[in-house]
């Protein structure tokens, strides 16, 4: 039914033969090629890619829209690397401007969530030369001793490449060790843009694209799922975004281990690329939509609201996005330091649910691997009752 409705809308707008053929492929559930992905970027307007992405989103998930309850631990912002877009890290020589948590500091954070209904801890930070794989293995074991039930999503491929190299372990050995300590999955950071020419200009000294992909492949083989990100809206061209997604799509065909794709908009506050203007919201929505269309083998596309802002995150739910991350409790600094929308990113469960309902969608709390924990469709929050009372009195 919806296919017919979308088809009739597509037929009633004037499209070039190329866009018509791509649209028909999407409506018939066929994969589009790299060339067709690039054509969508250059030739299709927001209305068209939005309708196609929404069609796929509705086919895969209906109105289901996921969020989770998590908190972040950022062990340090001291980093041996010097990515040009990063506002967060401090080189070792400027150590006094950074932070380094001790093991106990981090366990105190976990303790502070002991009685809270969080299901995930996201552990990511700078690449500190003195925090090695055994330090982090011990951290995970101790986190699990405090909260045996919590899902540990930890360490980008950039951190993992460095810690395995320092410990003289292969990626498989390092990942298997961390898995034994209790690590459950990998976040999607560090991917940036895989094109080697662009990568060398924005983050030349950290792990290569091939290493990023290899680490995720090894993790998937060990039964650890992961996410994938793409940093867009800086010096890359549309071709590079499609190439990036194509490399991810190929790996997903091989392993099926990716949960979610997360496009990350480049923010230009206080970094070495501050002269580059940020892209518009239209470009953000087009990127979410084209990702949804191109990555046919990814179940989920996530808008990370602390970075993109809650209004755009809400809008994105009609442009292919079906996940808006979690109720982060002001525990991440990576975006606020780069000038993102949310300087102190906190949203209560009520606010997240309201945002999803406001877009006409169904709010579902999930765990990291998308098991549904609670359907909030009919839940009435105390805050909601108070808001209504204020409105009607």
Q: How far is the CB of 26 from ligand V47 (least distance, A)?
A: 26
Distance CA 380, CA 101 (A): 39
* Residue 314 is a binding residue for ligand V47 (CB under 6 A): no
- Output 76 or 318, the one with its CB closest to ligand SF4: 76
* Residue 79 is a binding residue for ligand SF4 (CB under 6 A): yes
Structure tokens at 90: 């401090």
Name the nearest CA neighbour of 52 among 24, 12, 31.
Answer: 24
* Residue 41 is a binding residue for ligand V47 (CB under 6 A): no
Q: Which stretch binds ligand V47 (CB under 6 A): 43-51, 204-212, 238-246, 259-267?
A: 259-267
Q: Give the Å distances, CA to CA, from 230 to 84, 209, 261, 298, 379.
A: 15, 12, 8, 14, 35
* Residue 229 is a binding residue for ligand V47 (CB under 6 A): yes
Phi, psi at 260, each rounded to 5°: -140, 145
Q: Do 281 and 312 meet the contact criterion of CB atoms below 8 Å apart?
A: yes
* Residue 231 is a binding residue for ligand V47 (CB under 6 A): yes
Q: Which stretch binds ligand SF4 (CB under 6 A): 17-25, 85-93, 228-236, 321-329?
A: 85-93
Q: How far is the CB of 86 from ligand SF4 (least distance, A)?
A: 3
- Output 23 or 260, the one with its CB closest to ligand V47: 260
Q: Do 158 and 207 meet the contact criterion of CB atoms below 8 Å apart?
A: yes
* Residue 335 is a binding residue for ligand SF4 (CB under 6 A): no
140 binds, among ligand V47, ligand SF4, none (CB under 5 to 8 A by kind): none
Which residues are CB-contacts of 282 (< 8 A; sequence separation ≥ 6)?
46
Q: Which stretch binds ligand V47 (CB under 6 A): 6-14, 40-48, 189-197, 283-291?
A: 189-197
Q: Which stretch binds ligand V47 (CB under 6 A): 205-213, 227-235, 282-290, 356-364?
A: 227-235
Distance CA 1, CA 223 (A): 38
229 binds, among ligand V47, ligand SF4, none (CB under 5 to 8 A by kind): ligand V47
SS3 call for 16: coil
206 binds, among ligand SF4, ligand V47, none (CB under 5 to 8 A by kind): ligand SF4
Q: Which residue among 67, 85, 258, 294 contacts ligand V47 (CB under 6 A)?
A: 85
* End-to-end Cα distance, the chain: 44
Q: How far is the CB of 328 from ligand V47 (least distance, A)?
A: 9
Q: Do 147 and 102 meet the contact criterion of CB atoms below 8 Å apart?
A: no
Query: How many other C-beta atoms can be found within 10 angstroms of the C-beta atom of residue 260?
Result: 22
* Residue 267 is a binding residue for ligand V47 (CB under 6 A): yes
* Residue 334 is a binding residue for ligand V47 (CB under 6 A): yes
Q: How far is the CB of 243 from ligand SF4 (least distance, A)?
A: 21
Distance CA 231, CA 255 (A): 23
Q: Residue ranges of the alpha helices (H) in the chain?
A: 2-12, 17-27, 34-43, 46-61, 103-112, 133-146, 157-166, 171-181, 196-202, 209-221, 238-255, 281-294, 305-308, 310-316, 349-358, 382-392
Q: Which helix H or strand E contains 70, and what residues bound it?
A: strand 70-73
309 binds, among ligand SF4, ligand V47, none (CB under 5 to 8 A by kind): none
Q: Which residue among 67, 71, 88, 258 contacts ligand SF4 (CB under 6 A)?
A: 88
Residue numbers of the site for ligand V47 (CB under 6 A)?
85-87, 187-190, 192, 227, 229, 231, 262, 264, 266-267, 271, 304, 334, 338
């Amino acid at each position: 039914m919806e296919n017919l409705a979308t088809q009739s809308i597509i037929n009633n707008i004037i499209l070039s033969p190329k866009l018509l053929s791509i649209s028909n492929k999407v409506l018939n559930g066929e994969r589009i090629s790299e060339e067709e992905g690039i054509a969508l970027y250059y030739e299709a307007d927001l209305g068209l890619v939005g309708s196609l992405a929404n069609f796929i989103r509705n086919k895969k998930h209906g109105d289901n829209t996921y969020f989770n309850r998590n908190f972040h631990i950022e062990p340090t912002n001291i980093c041996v690397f010097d990515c040009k877009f990063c506002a967060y890290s401090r080189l070792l020589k400027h150590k006094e401007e950074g932070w380094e948590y001790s093991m106990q500091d981090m366990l105190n954070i976990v303790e502070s969530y002991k009685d809270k209904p969080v299901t995930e801890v996201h552990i990511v930070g700078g690449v500190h030369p003195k925090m090695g794989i055994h330090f982090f293995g011990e951290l995970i074991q101790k986190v699990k001793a405090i909260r045996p039930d919590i899902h540990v999503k930890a360490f980008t491929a950039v951190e993992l490449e460095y810690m395995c190299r320092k410990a003289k372990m292969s990626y498989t050995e390092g990942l298997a060790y961390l898995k034994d300590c209790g690590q459950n999955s990998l976040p999607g950071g560090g991917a940036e843009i895989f094109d080697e020419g662009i990568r060398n200009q924005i983050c030349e000294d950290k792990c290569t694209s091939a290493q990023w992909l290899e680490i995720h492949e090894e993790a998937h083989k060990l039964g650890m799922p992961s996410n994938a990100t793409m940093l867009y809206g800086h010096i890359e061209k549309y071709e590079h975004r499609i190439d990036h997604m194509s490399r991810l799509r190929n790996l997903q065909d091989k392993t099926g281990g990716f949960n979610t794709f997360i496009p990350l908009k480049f923010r230009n506050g206080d970094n070495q690329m501050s002269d580059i203007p940020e892209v518009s919201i239209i470009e953000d929505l087009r990127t979410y939509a084209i990702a949804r269309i191109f990555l046919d083998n990814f179940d989920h596309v996530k808008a990370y609201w602390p970075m993109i802002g809650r209004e755009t995150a809400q809008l994105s739910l009609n442009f292919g996005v079906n996940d808006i991350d979690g109720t982060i409790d002001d525990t991440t600094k990576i975006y606020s330091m780069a000038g993102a929308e949310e300087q102190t990113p906190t949203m209560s469960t009520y606010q997240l649910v309201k945002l999803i309902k406001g877009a006409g969608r169904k709010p579902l709390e999930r765990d990291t691997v998308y098991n549904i924990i609670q359907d909030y469709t009919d839940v009435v929050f105390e805050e909601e009752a108070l808001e209504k009372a204020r409105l009607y009195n």
